[in-house]
Structure 1
Amino acid sequence: MLKKILGTILIASWCLTIAVAAASGAKNKIVLQLTDSSPEKQVLVLNVAQNLLKTYGDDVEIEVVAFGPGLPILL
């Protein structure tokens, strides 16, 4: 039961990410995934996003998708 719920949430967030990226005018679209509750991994994902913004500026759209143990970063 829990697998079905998590699978549905994952598919819904994936579809939403694709829809948002398609509506965007950015040429570069990046999705970063966070599935770990480790503070080091959370900082790593945010640092990657920051480095992408520094490199591409306004020409990139970044989505961070968190699920499972990675959800607390969004709360």
Structure 2
Amino acid sequence: MPAYLTLTRADLVKLGYSPSQASRIIKMAKELLLNRGLGWYGKKGVDRVPVEAVDAVLGLKLSQLEGAPSGLSAVKEELS
């Protein structure tokens, strides 16, 4: 079974973003997913988004962080 990596506001704070930046990033990622037709992300209680949506908002690949030995698994370990 493939591992699906998701992020929350708290995960982004752990990565070094301020709480307000992290909230804005999650909000923008949810808006992106809504525009792609994924209505689930319009619900207020949903605070977890796929890392690919965050990558699209930030214009980078969190899966390719410097020093990450094995891509997504390294990010997953960092956030655990």
Bucket of the pairwise TM-score, normalised by the shorter protein: 0.3 to 0.5
Higher helix share goes to which structure?
Answer: 1
TM-score by length of 2: 0.31
Q: Between Structure 1 and Structure 2, whose CA radius of gyration is higher?
A: 1
Higher strand share goes to which structure?
Answer: 1
